[in-house]
Amino acid sequence: MRKTLLLCLGVLQILVGVGAVVSGAMLIADPSGAPLHAPVEMLKGSPFHDFLLPGVILFLVNGVGQLGAGVLSIRLHRWSGFIGAVFGFGLMIWIFVQVSMIGGGHVLQYSYFTAGVAETALAFLVQSRG
């Protein structure tokens, strides 16, 4: 059962990671947000004047970090549950901060928040199965 949970956790982490790497890279390449149809005006009232720093954070934390966590989970690493919980909570916090700064209501925000909840739940199940 633990192996199945870890594989599910790993697949979820890799899916989140791939989306974040691609989106983060697009924001780094063009900090105006145009490739993602995210006008820079969305950032009004936030500490950012363009999408460069959010893109870097997205790329590294929710992208590379989630991909690394996914590889560990698929390899059945003993720390996968703990690492999955950290990245799951991190993803929920990322979306919460995003909605607080630029507003919410986009389907991707709901989807990624749900992915964070699912990742955290799977991580706790993995940890409980020791």
What type of residue is 111?
A: S
DSSP code, position 129: T
Mean pLDDT across the chain? 94
Tell whether 87 is covered by a domain.
yes
- Let me know if residue 118 belongs to a domain: yes
Residue 64 inside a domain? The answer is yes
Q: Give the phi and the psi of residue 78 in degrees, each rounded to 5.
A: -65, -20
pLDDT at 45: 85
Question: pLDDT at position 7, please?
Answer: 96
pLDDT in tens, 20-54: 999 999 999 999 999 999 899 989 888 999 999 99
Note whether residue 43 is domain-resident. Answer: no
CA-based Rg of the chain, rounded to a whole angstrom?
15
Residue 6, domain extent: 2-29+50-128
Give percent of the chain with pLDDT exceeding 90: 85
Hey, what are 27's tokens?
Answer: 């924001």
Position 45 in a domain: no
Please give the tally of structural domains in the chain. Answer: 1
Is 34 part of a structural domain of the chain? no
Assigned domain for 38 exists: no
What is the residue-wise DSSP string for 44-113? TTSS-SSSHHHHHHIIIIIIIIHHHHHHHHHTT-TTHHHHHHHHHHHHHHHHHHHHHHH----HHHHHHH
